[in-house]
Amino acid sequence: EAAVTQSPRSKVAVTGGKVTLSCHQTNNHDYMYWYRQDTGHGLRLIHYSYVADSTEKGDIPDGYKASRPSQENFSLILELASLSQTAVYFCASSDWGLGVYEQYFGPGTRLTVL
């Protein structure tokens, strides 16, 4: 079965500090995504990638960087964490081809910035 794992599952960070969220998938999928979830906003796309060593900006990329060193791994980096980045972050992966493929989500990382 498709599997997306995230680490850490929860994290407390200080304002101005650097935070790295990691995602690993064993689905052999080309596409990977980072979303943040906030009450009242649902899921918002931060960055995505369709091939290793390349990332693309999503709808809300400001304050975030992404890294895709391999097909299996996709990281989200907050260089200078801010209070407004407190949220739950989800990683997802999907296949690609002639059709439209669903996204498989990880369990999420709850980030609290103090």
- Does position 48 interact with another protein (CB under 8 A)? The reply is yes
- Does position 42 interact with another protein (CB under 8 A)? The reply is yes
Of 45, 52, 60, 77, the one binding another protein by CB under 8 A = 45
- Does position 103 interact with another protein (CB under 8 A)? The reply is yes
Among 22, 76, 20, 15, residue whose Cα is nearest residue 44 = 76
| Inter-residue contact 88 to 109 (CB < 8 Å) | yes
Bridge partners of 45? 35
Site for another protein in 74-93 (CB under 8 A): 90, 92
What's the start-to-end Cα distance of the chain, in Å? 37
- Does position 100 interact with another protein (CB under 8 A)? The reply is yes
| Inter-residue contact 76 to 17 (CB < 8 Å) | no
- By the criterion CB under 8 A, which residues form the site for another protein? 4, 31, 33, 40-43, 45, 48, 50, 90, 92, 94, 96, 99-108
